[in-house]
Structure 1
């Protein structure tokens, strides 16, 4: 980037009265680690497409799952290293749109939807587009503090990585059972359209902060996590299918929990207003 005189080291500052500012020479050393993890997630998602083209759908799904794990690490690494940058946020959003939007859409299309070229391709496109739209909506709301779902500790719609995992549910079942009915193109097309809708919907969904177990059962949670890891190693596809269906069951639970919280907040606000009104009237009578 250069200024009007062609100087690559300076650009016009958008704020009035500040003239020109010097551009940063590059990323700081601390920012390398989280951005490298994000780049690895992007490469993993793209490699999933390569495996799907070769017909190895197990590896293609594993590549996208690896991208999801890396996506969960990069943000935490950036916060831990205090290396949160605008560049990293943009890179993360672009990587997510490919790894969890484009890659799953193409993988599922090459697996089952190409037998129904027109409708199958439209449903794959709908999934990819809705994933990108969700990410764009998320980025547009980053600086907006008055978000009812966020303030209450909920998310809006299904997150992109979980949406990719949900889209693969018929594929999990097909790999685990070998039953070709799970690869029926019409059913898979409808499933992809449903998950696309869930990603861009305004449904309040549970965030990690809402999944904190009570202290008295946390030891049991540790045991369950250990058993889940063992199940993933022995029966990975059935376990992934069970986890996916478990998350689907949490979607209406999250909506109900948010509605109850919203109703209680409304009642609390109304009670506070009535109390304030009563106090004001008493003062006026005096």
Structure 2
């Protein structure tokens, strides 16, 4: 009698569409960053800037969409970091190099490399600390260093300023401007890998009575970005740069307040424990 040993059927693993949507947005941000490089090679720098701005918008919503759809995953987190390295590390470095840093022989390419490398190091540090609970800056609602999308915007800020002032006949970008751009790019690269505390958007809380005013501000910002993009991006870059020293002062203030609050509690707990402890034995010196 022949016995037919049927192999058990393997259950096919099905991935819900809600998991794919955030990853698709991340891929779109990656494609926008790569497109900016192609546009810069073709000499279309304004559209190259626009492509990186689009990548920044997509990067800002993919995580929120993932949490909204409950589609967050470790794969999505790793994919997001790879997309950020390309869109906010490699792409801005190449765009700013082709735009002006190539006129600084040797030094310009090193500065561009510094931006891309520091962006990759920042994201690697972020991934390494995903499961670390003891993060002093994160504990008090701050970030460590400036985020990669913000770093890309600050690196491209000389281009924002140039295209904003171009209608006023400021069309000659001199060697001084190229050197100043190199200083800006190098400083931004340092800020991305630094241990300086910076503000986090996640810690921003809006009171209910200010909700309407916040929506009006968002509408005005969107209108300004569409009607005068380079002026708006230039002002945002300046305002964010001004918040960095403010964040350092705020972080120190929060730490002092936390230390002052923790000290009396610790002393009280120590006193209570000592009172509750039994008296020492006569045999103990």
Give TM-score, length-normalised by structure 1: 0.86
Structure 1 CA distance, aligned partners of 2:14 and 2:105? Answer: 45
* Residue of 53, 59, 63 corresponding to 2:51: 63
Structure 2 residue runs without a partner (length 5+): 1-9, 280-285
Structure 2 CA distance, aligned partners of 1:48 and 1:158? Answer: 22
Does the 8 Å CA contact 1:171/1:182 hold for their aligned counterparts?
A: no
Structure 2 CA distance, aligned partners of 1:262 and 1:23? Answer: 53
Does the 8 Å CA contact 1:45/1:67 hold for their aligned counterparts?
A: yes
Cα distance change on mapping 1:253 and 1:213 into 2, 3 Å = farther
Structure 2 CA distance, aligned partners of 1:90 and 1:80? Answer: 19
Hey, what does 1:81 align to over in structure 2?
69
Q: Does 1:204 align with 2:197?
A: yes
Structure 1 CA distance, aligned partners of 2:72 and 2:65? Answer: 9
* Residue of 143, 156, 160 corresponding to 1:172: 160
Cα distance change on mapping 1:222 and 1:29 into 2, 3 Å = closer
1:109 to partner: Cα distance: 0.1
1:70 to partner: Cα distance: 0.7
* Residue of 177, 188, 191 corresponding to 2:181: 188
Hey, what does 1:16 align to over in structure 2?
none
After TM superposition, the structure 1 stretch with the greater mean CA deviation from structure 2, 62-71 or 219-228, is 219-228
* Residue of 211, 224, 233 corresponding to 1:231: 224
Hey, what does 1:108 align to over in structure 2?
96
SS of match in other structure, 1:117: coil
Does the 8 Å CA contact 1:174/1:182 hold for their aligned counterparts?
A: no
Structure 1 CA distance, aligned partners of 2:202 and 2:69? Answer: 22
Cα distance change on mapping 1:167 and 1:266 into 2, 3 Å = same
Structure 1 residue runs without a partner (length 5+): 1-21
1:247 to partner: Cα distance: 1.1
Structure 1 CA distance, aligned partners of 2:155 and 2:129? Answer: 25
1:26 to partner: Cα distance: 6.9
Give the alignment's Cα RMSD to 1 decimal. Answer: 2.2
Q: Deviations over 1:247-279 (max 9, x none)?
A: 111111111111111001111121122323444
After TM superposition, the structure 1 stretch with the greater mean CA deviation from structure 2, 113-122 or 229-238, is 229-238
Cα distance change on mapping 1:279 and 1:87 into 2, 3 Å = closer
Does the 8 Å CA contact 1:232/1:239 hold for their aligned counterparts?
A: yes
Give TM-score, length-normalised by structure 2: 0.86
